[in-house]
Amino acid sequence: MSSPTTAPAAPARSWAADKLFLGLSFWEYAKSLATPGNFVAGLIMAVGLPLMAYRFIFGLGAATNLSQTNPWGIWIGFDLLSGVALAAGGYTLATAVYIFGLEKYHAVVRPAVLTGFLGYLFAVLGLAADLGRPWNLPVPIVYSFGGPSVMFEIAWCVVLYLTVLFMEFLPPIFEWLGWPKARLWAVRMTIGLTVFGVMLSTLHQSSLGALFLMAPTKLHPLWYSPFIPAYFFISSIAAGLSMVIVESALSHRAFQSRADHHTDVDGIALGLARGASIVLFAYFFVKLQGIADGGRWAMLATPYGYWFLVEMIGFILLPSMLFAYGARHSRVALVRWTAAWTVLGIVVNRLNVSVIAMNWNVPDRYVPSFMEVWISITLVTLGVSTFRWIVNRMPVLNAHPEYPDSSSH
């Protein structure tokens, strides 16, 4: 707090310079943006955004390789299914810290919630590109209710959860704006929002798997199972934990000047690895039970069976063991690489269910078009850039000086 006598001495910076330009003048700020990373991001977007416009002007047929046989491609399998699974860190960490009282992980709740919010936001944007008539999105929310539809449940949950994540992220926004009263009001909602967030996440994470229950003749029997909602829910927890490990490692390296150096990033990573190891182990056996229950053992000795085993052993059992080893022997680097590998494994699983093992028995196979891939990469780039923009301004990785305990809410 500056005393009234010294205040006039410092030249008052404009609101924009203070809040938006990191305390620099506009031109200084513009110059500071000229970095190799921003150049690559700008290049991706410079191609990606016109491609997005192209898709809306000329239609899905012109931009994608979707067909009458394969109506869902990577915008569903990667942007939506993988995006939502990897954004599960928000509810996982909020539950661990606010409900279970595991204070050790407090420092990573805010980045996890922010990652969750942006993950959902860009998953929904990817969905908007995939929908034929995205402007009709309010229809099932406002007046035409498809009650018996799993998709209806997902639409409601995602709309509500996006709102919940935004409200969970209000405290750092209000700290940034300097609105202490609003901040206090937002902080008081934390527990309620966390509980509501867990309810919504349980429902829609599992329901994204339940979508595929309707395709018993189309999805390969090794992936089709009545337990698929449980697979999606359990794996979302592992995805969320792994994503937080990866994201906190990258953030504390990339934002060294911003990050709180008292945060025990290594200890947090090792603790989360222990949790992820257990969850992946359970996930492995629940998946195995699906094979036993469906009597699918013989199918393991087919090409699709080999690919299924790659997923089961390479992307579930192996990381479970590596997490356990890394956590036990405090091998932080191993834990971080394993987390990245698990994130990849979740993406592989979601693509298997929605694209690779889908319509496995018909000749018309789907391979994404160049534009589908580029637009997906553009959305990821937009998400990362937005994350950086926010972390550079708001108290996410560090406590706000005026609210020293701010990272505890």
Partner 1 sequence: MKLNRRTFFKVAGTAGAVALAPASKAGATSHAEALAAGRRGVLVDTTKCIGCRACEAACAEANVLAGPAMPDDAAVFAAPRKTDTAAFTVVNQRAASPARFVKQQCMHCIEPACASACLARALDKTPTGPVVYHKDRCLGCRYCMVACPFGVPKYEYDKALPYVRKCTFCAERQAKGEAPACTSVCPSGALTFGNRNELIETARERLYAKGSSYVRHIYGENEVGGTSWMYITDIPIEKLGLPTDVGSYAYSSLTQASLAAVPFVLTLWPPLLMGIYSFSKRRNEVEARGGSAREEADHV
Structure tokens at 49: 């955004």
Region 144-183 residues binding partner 1, contact defined as CB under 8 A: 144-146, 148-155
Q: 219 in helix, strand or coil? A: strand
**9/364 with CB nearer partner 1:** 364
Distance of closest approach, residue 39 Cβ to partner 1, in angstroms: 33
Strands (E) in 134-262, as ranges, are none
133 lies in the binding site for partner 1 (CB under 8 A):
yes
Region 193-222 residues binding partner 1, contact defined as CB under 8 A: 194-195, 198-199, 202-203, 206-207, 210-218
**34/57 with CB nearer partner 1:** 57
Region 223-252 residues binding partner 1, contact defined as CB under 8 A: 226, 229
Distance of closest approach, residue 373 Cβ to partner 1, in angstroms: 18
**32/144 with CB nearer partner 1:** 144
Distance of closest approach, residue 43 Cβ to partner 1, in angstroms: 27
Q: 143 in helix, strand or coil? A: coil
66 lies in the binding site for partner 1 (CB under 8 A):
yes
Q: What is the distance between the alpha carbons of residues 22 and 95, in angstroms, rounded to a whole number? A: 33
- 62, 91, 110, 161, 378 from 167: Cα distances, Å: 38, 13, 12, 10, 26
Distance of closest approach, residue 220 Cβ to partner 1, in angstroms: 13
Residue type, 402: E
CB-CB contact of 407 with 104 (8 Å): no
98 lies in the binding site for partner 1 (CB under 8 A):
yes
- 58, 98, 235, 291 from 337: Cα distances, Å: 41, 28, 18, 29
- 279, 323, 325, 331 from 334: Cα distances, Å: 18, 8, 9, 5
* Residue 354 burial (10 A CB sphere; 0-12, 13-18, 19+): buried
Distance of closest approach, residue 260 Cβ to partner 1, in angstroms: 21
Binding mask 40-59 for partner 1 (x = CB under 8 A): ----------------xxxx
139 lies in the binding site for partner 1 (CB under 8 A):
yes
**2/68 with CB nearer partner 1:** 68
Q: What is the distance between the alpha carbons of residues 382 and 298, in angstroms, rounded to a whole number? A: 44
Q: Which residues contact 251 (CB under 8 A, 6 or more apart)?
A: 111, 259, 391, 397
**29/227 with CB nearer partner 1:** 227
Distance of closest approach, residue 245 Cβ to partner 1, in angstroms: 23
CB-CB contact of 94 with 117 (8 Å): no
267 lies in the binding site for partner 1 (CB under 8 A):
no
Distance of closest approach, residue 135 Cβ to partner 1, in angstroms: 9
Which chain residues interact with partner 1 by CB under 8 A?
56-62, 64, 66-69, 71-72, 95, 98-101, 103, 130-134, 136-137, 139-140, 144-146, 148-155, 191, 194-195, 198-199, 202-203, 206-207, 210-218, 226, 229
